[in-house]
Chains A and B, each alone.
Chain A
Amino acid sequence: GQNIDQPTEMTATEGAIVQINCTYQTSGFNGLFWYQQHAGEAPTFLSYNVLDGLEEKGRFSSFLSRSKGYSYLLLKELQMKDSASYLCAVRDLRATGKLIFGQGTTLQVKP
Chain B
Amino acid sequence: ETGVTQSPTHLIKTRGQQVTLRCSSQSGHNTVSWYQQALGQGPQFIFQYYREEENGRGNFPPRFSGLQFPNYSSELNVNALELDDSALYLCASSTRGSGILYEQYFGPGTRLTVT
CB-based contact A97/B106 at 8 Å: no
Q: Flag if A45 contacts B55 (CB, 8 Å).
A: no
The reply to whether A42 and B2 contact each other, CB–CB distance below 8 Å, is yes
Q: How many B residues have CB within 8 A of the partner chain?
A: 30
Query: DSSP majority for the B interface?
Result: strand
The A-B contact count (CB < 8 A) is 64
Cβ contacts under 8 Å, A100 to chain B: 45
Q: Which residues of A are in contact with B by a Cβ distance under 8 Å?
A: 4, 33, 35, 40-45, 48, 87, 89, 91, 94-104
B residues near A (Cβ < 8 Å) are 2, 4, 33, 35, 40-45, 48, 55-56, 58, 88, 90, 92, 94, 96, 99-101, 103-109, 111
CA distance A41 to B108 in the complex (A): 6
A100–B43 Cα gap in the complex (Å)?
8
